[in-house]
């Protein structure tokens, strides 16, 4: 398991490697453009070369690129759809250039419209973005389930993959907070196993390619996306230990998106805690 965290690429994308290294991360996640702006970042060849060299010389083994939250692949607004396609295609192209493990995408929202129609629109847009890029995988992230968000169940995630053509580059990123908020009690090994059995039956466990580990500020089935620091929320240290020691997660990048004690993101101490919790979980399973 490659435990790491979301970091900033400010000042040059290669700086993300240093920021991950100083936290002891084995995996890092970045936004490839400002999360508040639609304009995609196009990396200079020199920056890409330096990033790849720095990654190769570091203990960081995996990069995830998180598509920004402005995107809505399920929108029926032509302008939003055009901007979403441009941004998603740029994210996948950046993934190709940087050698990313995957781009992670929140599939979007139906707002107050028909969910089935929104899934069809999202699938068509995703299919187009994949056709315009080469290698980088695209992992659809499960959502907490608020409003008309897409991907709040394994049925919806399966429908999105089908609508996008079932491309082999399509996978899943499972977020622990979102699973819990959408009604999956993953605090015990048995509960997490049952959730993954459902994932396997409806989507296929082979599609699972990355993970987000976040504790949850709010309760089971709340449908609210509120991340808490590891061990400080509803999952608690025991629930996080279960997640970190799940056998079917072995070898995958697991990225923390926690606020941190000073609201500046995941610190090194939190990644160190995860290493301890993983060992605790493995010992409990032995």
Check whether 135 is labelled as a binding-site residue. no
Q: For residues 194 and 158, give the distance between their C-alpha atoms in angstroms, rounded to a whole number.
A: 17
Comparing CA positions, the residue from 123, 122, 98 lying closest to residue 110 is: 122
- Longest CA–CA span in the chain (Å) reads 54
Q: Is the pTM of this model over 0.85?
A: yes
Provide the token pair at 137: 């995988």
Residues 137, 209: contact at Cβ < 8 Å? yes
User: How many domains is the chain partitioned into structurally?
Assistant: 1
Could you list the beta-strand ranges (E) of the chain. Answer: 2-6, 27-30, 62-66, 102-105, 137-141, 170-175, 208-213, 215-216, 227-228, 253-256
- The rounded average pLDDT for each run of 10 residues, N- to C-terminus, in the chain (286 residues) is 97 98 98 93 95 98 97 97 97 98 97 94 98 97 93 97 97 98 98 98 98 97 96 98 98 97 94 98 96
Cα–Cα distance measured from residue 105 to residue 127, given in angstroms and rounded to the nearest whole number: 13
Residue 179 makes CB contacts below 8 A (sequence gap 6+) with 142, 186, 195
User: Was 257 annotated as part of a binding site?
Assistant: yes
What pLDDT score does 178 carry? Answer: 98
- Contact of 15 with 75, CB cutoff 8 Å: no
Q: Quote the DSSP letter at residue 232.
A: S
Evaluate whether 235 touches 176 at the Cβ level (below 8 Å).
yes
Q: What are the tokens at 120?
A: 């069809």
**Which residues lie below 8 Å from residue 31, measured CB to CB, with a gap of 6+?**
9, 65, 66, 68
Contacts of 174 (CB under 8 A, 6+ apart): 141, 142, 199, 208, 210, 211, 212
Closest CA to 254 of 238, 268, 240: 240
Predicted local confidence at residue 17, as pLDDT: 98
Distance CA 156, CA 203 (A): 9
**pLDDT score, position 146:** 87
Quick one: DSSP state of residue 149? Answer: B
Q: What is the CATH number of the domain that holds 200?
A: 3.20.20.150
Buried-exposed string 70-108: b where 16+ CB fall within 10 A, e elsewhere: ebbbbbeeeebbebbbbbbbbbbbbbebbebbbbbbbbb
Q: Can you give the length of the chain in residues?
A: 286
What is the pLDDT, as a whole number, of residue 147?
84
| Residue 61 is assigned to a ligand binding site | no
> Is 106 marked as a binding-site residue?
yes
Looking up tokens 């061990």 gives: 231
| Domain ranges, residue 57 | 2-285
- Which pLDDT does position 53 carry in this prediction? 98
């Amino acid at each position: 398991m490659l435990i790491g965290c979301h970091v900033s690429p400010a000042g040059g994308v290669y700086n993300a490697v240093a920021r991950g290294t100083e936290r002891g991360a084995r995996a890092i996640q970045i936004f490839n453009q400002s999360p508040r702006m639609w304009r995609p970042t196009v990396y200079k060849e020199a920056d890409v070369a330096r990033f790849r060299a720095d990654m190769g010389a570091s203990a960081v083994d995996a990069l995830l690129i998180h598509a920004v939250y402005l995107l809505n692949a399920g929108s029926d607004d032509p302008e939003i759809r055009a901007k979403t396609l441009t941004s998603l295609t740029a994210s996948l192209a950046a993934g190709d250039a940087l050698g990313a493990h995957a781009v992670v995408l929140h599939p979007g929202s139906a707002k107050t419209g028909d969910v089935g129609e929104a899934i069809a629109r999202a699938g068509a847009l995703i299919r187009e973005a994949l056709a315009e890029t080469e290698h980088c995988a695209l992992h659809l992230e499960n959502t907490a389930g608020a409003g008309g968000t897409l991907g709040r169940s394994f049925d919806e995630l399966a429908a999105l993959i089908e609508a996008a053509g079932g491309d082999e580059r399509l996978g899943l990123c499972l977020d622990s907070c979102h699973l819990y908020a959408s009604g999956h009690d993953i605090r015990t090994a048995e509960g997490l196993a049952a959730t993954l059995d459902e994932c396997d039956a409806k989507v296929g466990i082979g599609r699972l390619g990355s993970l987000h580990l976040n504790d949850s500020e709010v309760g089971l089935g709340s449908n609210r996306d509120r991340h808490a620091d590891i061990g400080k929320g509803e999952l608690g240290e025991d629930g996080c230990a279960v997640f970190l020691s799940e056998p079917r997660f072995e070898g995958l990048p697991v990225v923390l998106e926690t606020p941190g004690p000073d609201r500046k993101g995941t610190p090194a101490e939190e990644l160190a805690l995860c290493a301890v919790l993983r060992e605790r979980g493995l010992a409990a399973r032995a």
